[in-house]
Amino acid sequence: MTKIIGLTGGIGSGKTSIAGFFKEMGIPVYIADDEAKKVMQSAEIINEIKSTFGESLFENNVLNRAKLAEIVFNNADELAKLNAIVHPAVKRDFQFWLAQHKNEELVVYEAAILFESGKYKDFDYIVTVTAPEEVRIERVMKRDNTTREHVLNRMQMQWNDEKRISLSNFVINNSNLKIAREEVVKILKILNIKQKQS
């Protein structure tokens, strides 16, 4: 039976870098945000988003993601509506992906809101990635070319590290990539998973 690690952390914690280390070591990784973007291009989901949020979010049938983000990241109710559309579709997509990796000892599911969505209960282990708040804010401002205020708003929509850590099996502090990579190696050793490549 394939074991699943749920990999999570607040915005700007560097989950993607940690997911990359798992991949590097031969562990298949499912990046929920990337897959959600693909899922949101399906006709079925586009129609649901249109009927929930209106046609004005679309230009030539292409979703304006920035406009949608503006709506949902400033309003918990609107975010819940979007999640109710996207999460079930991503869940189906992950089940399909998992079936394709059924011979693997271990796979990783990476998502920002693993706890907030209640999905953490579906996994065998939880790894939370942390980094100092200032580092996270700087990373996101640079990455998304956005304001400090916007980043802080998004942070407030997520659980804090303390809350995440209390429900996690492993915690990786991602202030230093070299040390964070060693933590991934350590986790695989503890779980008795052989690295396919290093």
Contacts of 109 (CB under 8 A, 6+ apart): 4, 5, 6, 7, 29, 30, 32, 94, 123
Q: What's the pLDDT at 69?
A: 87
pLDDT tens, residue by residue, 49-98: 999 999 999 988 889 988 998 898 778 899 889 989 999 999 999 999 99
166 is in an annotated binding site: no
- Rounded distance, CA 123 to CA 16, Å? 19
Nearest of 163, 175, 179 to residue 138 by alpha carbon:
175
Domain ranges of the chain: 3-190
Whole-number pLDDT of residue 197: 58
Are the beta carbons of 168 and 128 closer than 8 angstroms?
yes
168 is in an annotated binding site: no
Residue 62 has what pLDDT?
87
Spans in the chain with pLDDT lower than 70: 197-198
| Adjacent-strand bridge partners of 3 | 106
Q: Is 118 annotated as a binding residue?
A: no
Is 13 one of the annotated binding-site residues? yes
Q: Which CATH superfamily is domain 3-190 in?
A: P-loop containing nucleotide triphosphate hydrolases (3.40.50.300)
pLDDT at 198: 45
- Measured between alpha carbons, how far is 53 from 68 in angstroms, rounded to an integer? 8
The residues with which 70 forms a beta bridge, in sequence order, are: none
The answer on whether 2 is annotated among ligand-binding residues is no
The answer to the question of whether 15 is labelled as a binding residue is yes
